[in-house]
Chains A and B, each alone.
Chain A
Amino acid sequence: MITLKNINKLYDLGEVKVNALKGIDLTINRGDYVSIMGPSGSGKSTLMHIMGILDTPTSGQYLLEDYDITSLPDRELARIRNKHFGFIFQSFNLFPELSALENVMLPLGYAGVTYSKRKDRAKELLAEVGLGHRMQHLPTMMSGGEQQRVAVARALANDPDLIIADEPTGNLPSDKGHEIMDILEKLNNKGVTVVMVTHNPEQGMRAKRTINIKDGLLHSDELNSKGGV
């Protein structure tokens, strides 16, 4: 599904230049459940951002379904993020001005879905993550676990092919973290590709495949025997 070829990312901070990624080659297959692990500052978040087209590599090739997207115009990239990718962030990143329902409706709007269909779809998704009763609440009135479930519902709004999760349980107590992990596993079982950055080795081992990054280099890439359990 995604093929990264010799991806480099250089952060130019004036006098200091940080080489976050040094020639990463990586392939993510359709239906994969990949955890990306590594110590802080290893470049795993950068890799994830590049994979989600939230950042552009300094050099290298990004093939999506064998198609080089590096030179696509911004409008097309935005469309890919909207229709094919779903993002879940450590800090939820919900809009505090919008209710749970409106937060989920937002990406549907960019996909050109009409208001009433947006609303129906958002209600359906929130009910699926168990928040049918809290749709009109603002994020500030919700617990972290609830907020992250809203974020999951939002990520699923346009039926993405790929879920990109950046430490999705990092800000949650372990029981709430488990809930999120269960949802991700369920999605993967339905055929959605999941790429997750995590610090937690236990969660990392729940994925089918674990990639280790160290100092901007691919350290290891192995299948987990317990993966997909």
Chain B
Amino acid sequence: MSNETSLIMKRRFMGRILESGLLIIAVALGVGAAASGLSLMFHTKEYSQNLLNSAEYKEIVVTTRANVEDMTYPVVEKTPNTTTLTTADLKAGEIIDEVLYSYVVSSSHIRLVTEESTNMGFPREGGANPPQENANPENSNGSSSNEMQPGPPEGGDNMGQISEMLETFEDIKENPDYLVPEVEEIEGVEVTAQFFDAWGINAQDGSLFTSSDYTGSSNIIVLGSEMAKTLNTGNYNSVIGKKIVAWDKVYKVVGVLEETGSKYDNYYVTPKKEVSNSFFMRRFGDTQLRFYVDNVNQLDTTATQLSDWFTTQYGEGQVEISNPREEASKVVSRNNGISFLILFLSLAGLFIASVNVSNILMSRSLRMKKHVGILKALGASKKNILMIFVKEALLITSIGSVLGTFLALPLSITMEESLGLGDVSWVYIIIGVFMSSILTLIFSVLPARQSVDIEAAEAMRSAG
């Protein structure tokens, strides 16, 4: 296209700035809505895929009826418990073929010694009692079985080891061997070995537990990626080998987990000890046994098999078996439904916007009819003429699309947050903008084809 022809278009565009602006806004609204709708759909699909593939939704959870309140998924009735599940019951997983991993994940928390808590009475001198493997039975009698670490003990019986090592809290604070957290309590889980296999979690720093850690008496701890950052107030290069002082014992950090994107990033993990004492076994028996099934189609049948096994072991109605898949499917289908509805509405918006843009451009090109005739007489080919309109449509579409992208961002954030899909993905928005821009461009170029094909003589006869 010659420069002078571009000048004509530019001056016509600027001369009708209101109309041109309206066109751009229409494109921006259409593209913005459609891009966020498309982005939402892509994101929902990915989220659903990840959700259904995540280890969390491949676990069948077996729990005693008494402890159903610890379960995430709704349970219909509750009967007095007479049964206690133990790690020994994990052997059910070995019997059933479809179960790939069997493990225990018990939630727990650790109360840390902090500056604030020491002011309330950090025991400077204590007895010479050896550290206890588990909670002091006297202290734990009334508490839930998950609460393995009791709060600050009144008598300070358990503090022997700590107070022996540390005269004051200041000692810990200045000692680079210790992590001095600002939080009073950290949450985490006690797990058995196959947990890491099922979730596919590795250590990004240090190591995971060895088999002896599950039986030995060492107080070791592995930190989730986020928790490691939280506790590393001293900004050490690595937290491996550092010690954490809790009210009942001193933990040694042996590893930091790689980022998983799950709740475990903010958790610590300690090995679940195999308790040999039968009294503890009854009293603090594991509440939730987890059986990981890789083939999701087999979840239902495996759940039935597990149910049969536990019924044989403990009798009818003693354990509760939950299949998280159903819950996940509900979430997935709800999200799908909402995102499809929004996609439909936003595409309808794009369509209406595009038809209007197409209409206005049609009337613009009709007003250009005489120009087309003269341009042809002066030597413009059909292709030259078409390019004029394509350039105009491209200009309007691209400005509109850029504006639409900025419109799509807050829209997507709002929608995807409300559906709990996590962070908005720019890639999806860009793909959405791209797809809807192409559609708008096609709509914008269509009317130009009519103007291009008329004979120059006929075009020049029209007013304009």
Residues of A near any B CB (own CB < 8 A): 46, 49, 52, 54-56, 74-75, 77-79, 81-83, 87, 89, 93, 95, 97-98, 102-103, 105-111, 115, 154, 158
- Residue of A89, A97, A115 touching B15 (CB-CB under 8 A): A97
Q: Kindly list chain A residues whose C-beta atoms are within 8 Å of the C-beta of B262.
A: none
Q: Kindly list chain A residues whose C-beta atoms are within 8 Å of the C-beta of B383.
A: 74-75
Taking the nearest CB of chain B, how far is it from the CB of A41, in angstroms? 14
A78 and B15 CA atoms in complex are apart in Å by: 29
Judge if B7 is at the interface, Cβ distance under 8 Å: yes
A56 and B454 CA atoms in complex are apart in Å by: 11
User: B10-22 CB contact bits vs A (8 Å, 1 = yes)?
Assistant: 0110010000000
B4 in contact with A81 (CB, 8 Å): no
A78 and B376 CA atoms in complex are apart in Å by: 7
Judge if B352 is at the interface, Cβ distance under 8 Å: no
Q: Kindly list chain A residues whose C-beta atoms are within 8 Å of the C-beta of B8.
A: 95, 97-98
Q: Which of B288-296, B318-326, B333-341, B456-464 contacts A (4 or more CB under 8 A)?
A: B456-464
Q: Kindly list chain A residues whose C-beta atoms are within 8 Å of the C-beta of B460.
A: 54, 89, 93
Q: Kindly list chain B residues whose C-beta atoms are within 8 Å of the C-beta of A93.
A: 370, 374, 377, 460
> Which residue on B lies nearest to A107, using beta carbons?
B378
A110 in contact with B378 (CB, 8 Å): yes
Judge if B380 is at the interface, Cβ distance under 8 Å: yes
Judge if B382 is at the interface, Cβ distance under 8 Å: yes
A74 and B376 CA atoms in complex are apart in Å by: 10
> Which residue on B lies nearest to A53, using beta carbons?
B456
B377 in contact with A87 (CB, 8 Å): yes
| Most chain B CB atoms below 10 A, which of A49, A75, A105 | A49
- Residue of B11, B378, B455, B456 touching A97 (CB-CB under 8 A): B11
> Which residue on B lies nearest to A75, using beta carbons?
B381
User: B356-395 CB contact bits vs A (8 Å, 1 = yes)?
Assistant: 0000000000000011011011111111100000000000
Which label, helix, strand, loop or mixed, suits the secondary structure of the B interface? helix
Q: Kindly list chain A residues whose C-beta atoms are within 8 Å of the C-beta of B374.
A: 93, 95
A33 and B462 CA atoms in complex are apart in Å by: 29
14 A–B contacts, CB within 8 A, in A order: A49-B456, A74-B381, A74-B382, A81-B378, A93-B370, A93-B377, A95-B371, A95-B374, A97-B15, A98-B7, A98-B8, A106-B378, A109-B1, A115-B3
Q: Kindly list chain A residues whose C-beta atoms are within 8 Å of the C-beta of B4.
A: 95, 98, 102-103, 105-106, 109
Q: Which parts of B3-58 form the interface with A (CB within 8 Å)?
A: 3-5, 7-8, 11-12, 15
B455 in contact with A55 (CB, 8 Å): yes
Query: How many A-B residue pairs lie within 8 Å, measured between CB atoms?
Result: 84
Residues of B near any A CB (own CB < 8 A): 1-5, 7-8, 11-12, 15, 370-371, 373-374, 376-384, 455-458, 460
> Which residue on A lies nearest to B459, using beta carbons?
A54
Taking the nearest CB of chain A, how far is it from the CB of B382, in angstroms? 5
A52 and B458 CA atoms in complex are apart in Å by: 13
Which label, helix, strand, loop or mixed, suits the secondary structure of the A interface? helix
A54 and B370 CA atoms in complex are apart in Å by: 13
Taking the nearest CB of chain A, how far is it from the CB of B448, in angstroms? 15
- Residue of B7, B380, B456, B458 touching A110 (CB-CB under 8 A): B380
A-B interface, 4 closest residue pairs, ranked by CB to CB distance from nearest:
A82-B379, A109-B2, A78-B381, A110-B379
- Residue of A81, A83, A102 touching B376 (CB-CB under 8 A): A81
A49 and B1 CA atoms in complex are apart in Å by: 24
Known: A95-B371, A97-B15, A98-B8. A78 touches B457 (CB 8 A): no
A87 in contact with B7 (CB, 8 Å): no
B458 in contact with A82 (CB, 8 Å): no
Q: Kindly list chain B residues whose C-beta atoms are within 8 Å of the C-beta of A46.
A: 457
Q: Kindly list chain A residues whose C-beta atoms are within 8 Å of the C-beta of B11.
A: 97-98
Q: Kindly list chain B residues whose C-beta atoms are within 8 Å of the C-beta of A115.
A: 3
B379 in contact with A79 (CB, 8 Å): yes
> Which residue on B lies nearest to A138, using beta carbons?
B11
Q: Kindly list chain A residues whose C-beta atoms are within 8 Å of the C-beta of B376.
A: 54, 78, 81
B381 in contact with A55 (CB, 8 Å): no
Taking the nearest CB of chain A, how far is it from the CB of B326, in angstroms? 65
A102 in contact with B7 (CB, 8 Å): yes
Q: Kindly list chain A residues whose C-beta atoms are within 8 Å of the C-beta of B379.
A: 78-79, 81-83, 107, 110-111, 158
Q: A108-B2, A109-B2 are in contact. List 15 more A-B contacts (CB 8 A).
A: A49-B457, A54-B373, A74-B383, A75-B381, A78-B381, A79-B379, A81-B379, A93-B374, A95-B374, A97-B11, A97-B12, A98-B8, A102-B4, A106-B5, A110-B378
B457 in contact with A82 (CB, 8 Å): no
> Which residue on A lies nearest to B455, using beta carbons?
A55
Q: Kindly list chain A residues whose C-beta atoms are within 8 Å of the C-beta of B1.
A: 109
B455 in contact with A78 (CB, 8 Å): no
A56 and B457 CA atoms in complex are apart in Å by: 9
A133 and B378 CA atoms in complex are apart in Å by: 24
Q: Kindly list chain B residues whose C-beta atoms are within 8 Å of the C-beta of A52.
A: 377
| Most chain A CB atoms below 10 A, which of B4, B373, B374 | B4
A93 and B460 CA atoms in complex are apart in Å by: 8
A50 and B383 CA atoms in complex are apart in Å by: 21
> Which residue on B lies nearest to A81, using beta carbons?
B379
A108 and B1 CA atoms in complex are apart in Å by: 11
A46 and B374 CA atoms in complex are apart in Å by: 16
Taking the nearest CB of chain B, how far is it from the CB of A185, in angstroms? 23
A55 in contact with B457 (CB, 8 Å): yes
Q: Kindly list chain B residues whose C-beta atoms are within 8 Å of the C-beta of A54.
A: 373, 376-377, 455-457, 460
Taking the nearest CB of chain B, how far is it from the CB of A118, in angstroms? 8
A188 and B83 CA atoms in complex are apart in Å by: 116
Q: Kindly list chain A residues whose C-beta atoms are within 8 Å of the C-beta of B7.
A: 97-98, 102
Q: Kindly list chain A residues whose C-beta atoms are within 8 Å of the C-beta of B382.
A: 74, 78
A56 in contact with B15 (CB, 8 Å): no
A55 and B457 CA atoms in complex are apart in Å by: 6
> Which residue on B lies nearest to A106, using beta carbons?
B4
Taking the nearest CB of chain A, how far is it from the CB of B289, in angstroms? 78
B456 in contact with A82 (CB, 8 Å): no
> Which residue on A lies nearest to B382, using beta carbons?
A74
> Which residue on B lies nearest to A158, using beta carbons?
B379
> Which residue on B lies nearest to A84, using beta carbons?
B379
A98 and B9 CA atoms in complex are apart in Å by: 10
> Which residue on B lies nearest to A97, using beta carbons?
B11
A110 in contact with B377 (CB, 8 Å): no
A45 and B74 CA atoms in complex are apart in Å by: 87
- Residue of B2, B371, B377, B455 touching A81 (CB-CB under 8 A): B377
